[in-house]
Structure formats: structure tokens, C-alpha cells
Structure 1
Amino acid sequence: MQKKWLVIVNPVAGNSASKKKWPLIYNELLLQKFEVEVIFTEFKNHAVKIVQTSIKQGFTKFICVGGDGTLHSIVNGILSLNPINISEIKIGIIAIGTGNDWIKTYYISKDYKKAIQIIKDGNTIKQDIGKITIAKNNETVYFNNLAGIGFDGYVVNKVHKFKNLGFLAYLTGAIVSLTSYKKATLEITFNNTIIKEKTLMLLIGLCKYSGGGMQLTKNSDPTDGLFDISIIYKIHLFNILGNLSGLFNGNITNHKLVNTYKTAELKIKVLDTIKTYIQADGELVGSDDFSVSILPKAISFIVPK
């Protein structure tokens, strides 16, 4: 078995903060006696190919140096390969991104020295993973944090313009987008329930945080074998501005405009001609009809004790 850690560095993560901090991170890894092989990503989703090649070479220990998008690619690289030794594979993260949402659920520090110490301690948790199947092309996409369709996908499509604002990028994108977004009629099927409504957005959560620290799903537990879904049919700009604290402390999920449920699978049909974006972990992954199912405790992540 390969003893080395494969370190996957996204040099453009966090407005290229990853590239600037990498020499310090590398020195700390060596100081902490890590045996590492390092690969820099060169294009979007390059980490998918890197991971698949590395697993075939015997690597089972991965360190992600980047943001939520880089971690998303690593997860997709593992699960799309579906290796027979998946139970031996584990992922640690040194978070340098815009939102850094996934780490917030587990209280992983953004301080690279503390993050490296967590990886060295080696405590793991087996987390549920979401599996999206997009009907149009039968494409499969996995997510480890949160997915959605509608307004949040629309915002993700806009957010790149505001990346320099850091965690406020998502909130800024949402406020700017709210007046221009046109709601689509969705048919949402889950737990023997069918909902057909003009819908602002549907959120499908595993972990607690998204959009730069917002808590938009209720009672999230990434190991309970269930998605926490929020359906919002309509919301106005004054509702958002009047509930800013609720977006970040989770109280927004108690608002009368937010409907919350738990389910292990669901199907979504878009009943309009409006192009409706799907996002997974803050990455645009497609549009139109799709289904989602849960893979219980599918991947081991290194988290604090």
C-alpha cells in the first residue's frame, strides 16, 4: 500500500491565495513528517482525473488544498471510479476557498497549521454522499455538502463576478440576482408526496452550511442517511434583508416561506421552458430534470476529534 499522501493543490482557490500560501503549507507538512507527493490542478475538475489515476497507483490518503469546489472534484473522482478499496480511502482538507462551507460543519480551522494537525491526528468520520442523476444525458454527479435547483443555481452562475468579496460573494450574488430571476414550475416527488409549484429554489442538504456560511436547511446530519431539504416557493428582497441574521444562524428555516423535509431520495421535473440550473457544492452541474439518492457513509473524511 502507498504510504505517501497525495496532496492536490488548486492554485487559483481563494482568489489564488492557495498558490501564495502553498510554500508555507508545504514546509509545515514536511515539518510534521508527512511523506507527500504534490500535484497542482491545471483546469476545472482536473482533480477528478488526478484522483482516479492516483488510486490506480495505490494512493489511499488525500489532502485537498483548496475550497469546496476542489473537495467536490476529489469526491467525484473517488466515487465515479468506485474503487474496491474505497473503505481504505480518506480525505483531509486544508481549506483555502471563497466559501469554505464544508469545513464549518466539522469545525475544521482555516488556519493551515491547525488543519495539518487535524490531518496528522487522523480521526475520521464516514459521511453520507448525495448522488445526482441528470435525466438529459444520464450523467452522474456526487456532492458532499449541498445541492439545489432554481435560484441558488442561478446565483452560483453569477457569483464568479463577486469572488473577490470572499464569503460575502454568495450573499451579494443573491441580492443582485433576486430581481432578475424568473421562477420555474417544479414537480418534486419524495416520500410518496408530489409537489407541483412555481418554486424559487429547492435545497438538498447533507451538511449545515452553504453560500458562505448560510444555514438554509434544518436539522442537518451528514451521517443519518437522509437529506434535509428546504423548498422555498417565493421570497422577496425585503424578506432577505429583514432576515440576514436568520440566513446565517439557521432561523430562516423556521420562516413561513420555507418548507423543510427529510428524505433519502427525490425526483425533480422542470415543467417550464425556463432554463433552471442545478448546483452541487457550489458548482454548476447541469439543468432541467434530475433525481437524487443518498449513499450512506460512503467516504471517510478526516475531522477533529
Structure 2
Amino acid sequence: MKPETFIIVNPTAGDGQAKKRWQVFENDLKNNHIPYHSVTTEYQNHATELVTEAVSSGYNRIGVFSGDGTLNEVLQGMFKENKIISDDLKLIFFPAGSSCDFEKKFKNNRSFIKRVQADDSIAIDIFKVECRDFSGKQIS
């Protein structure tokens, strides 16, 4: 496994404010000599593809600098045929969206640098929900 964290960045999160926030965080990563590799999302569902490519390339620490939407895309990419694509995969969320409801549920007060340096983790349940109307047609 690669020692650095693969960070997926959505610069349009938070009404475009994530781009500026990422520049600050990236400087912090460099100043603290934290090894990382970052890739910027370019289109819808790109993060789903990126996490699959990252794991295939040997990364097991995936950072998501985004809002809830891109976080969801990353989670979609972490699973194939309802199974996680790697048993030792770690996900680090760096909230940069406008609401970041996922972050609010965990009340994580750690700085972004502390998050990427931390070796501990919290297990959470992830489940898939499929919705259908009365005719059986899938709805979102």
C-alpha cells in the first residue's frame, strides 16, 4: 500500500468556496510534510471513478475534500456488487461543502491536519436503499 493519502477534491463544493479552502489546506499539508496525492473532480460521478482507480493503484487512505454529494460519489466507488473493494480502506472526510450534514452527525472537532495524521478510525454502518413506486419502477 502507498503511504500517502489520495485526496479527491471537488473545487465547486460550497458554492465554489472549496477551491480557496483547498489552497489553504494544501499549503498546510506541504508545510507539515504530509505525503499526499490529490486529484480534482471534473464532472458528475468522477469521484466514483477516482476512488476505484486510487485503490487499484495501491492507495488505502482516501481523503474527500468536498461536500456531501461528492462524499456520496466516493462511497459509491468504494463498493462493487454490494461489497467493499478493499478490506483495509480508510476514508477521511474534509468537509468543504455548504451544509456538510454528514460531518454534523459526528461532531468531529479535529483540524484537517489532525485528521490526516490520525491513525484511529470510527466504524460506521453503510447501507444501500432502493426505492420503487407502486408499479415497481425505480425512483430516486
TM-score (norm 1): 0.42
| 1:99 corresponds to | 99
Matched, 1:130 2:107: no
Counterpart AA for 2:36: V
Structure 2 portions without partners, runs of 5+: none
C-alpha deviation, 1:122, in angstroms: 2.6
C-alpha deviation, 1:271, in angstroms: 2.9
Structure 2: distance between partners of 1:118 and 1:37: 16
Show CA shifts across 1:54-76 (max 9, x none). Answer: 11111100111000111111111
Count the aligned residue pairs. 138
Bigger Rg, structure 1 or 2: 1
- In the TM superposition, 1:137-176 aligns within 5 A as none
Runs (4+) of structure 1 exceeding 6 A deviation are none
Structure 2: distance between partners of 1:78 and 1:91: 10
Structure 1: distance between partners of 2:112 and 2:68: 15
| 2:65 corresponds to | 65
Structure 2: distance between partners of 1:18 and 1:33: 22
Structure 2: distance between partners of 1:108 and 1:32: 21
| 1:270 corresponds to | 133
> Are the aligned partners of 2:67 and 2:95 in contact in 1 as well (CA < 8 Å)?
yes
- Taking only aligned residues, the RMSD between alpha carbons, in angstroms, comes to 2.2
RCO higher in 1 or 2 (8 Å CA, sep ≥ 6)? 2
Structure 1 portions without partners, runs of 5+: 134-267, 276-285, 289-305
TM-score (norm 2): 0.87
Show CA shifts across 1:34-88 (max 9, x none). Answer: 111110000011000001111111110011100011111111111127455x221
Richer in strand (by share): 1
> Are the aligned partners of 2:8 and 2:41 in contact in 1 as well (CA < 8 Å)?
yes
- In the TM superposition, 1:110-121 aligns within 5 A as 114-121=111-118
- In the TM superposition, 1:117-266 aligns within 5 A as 117-133=114-130
C-alpha deviation, 1:120, in angstroms: 1.3
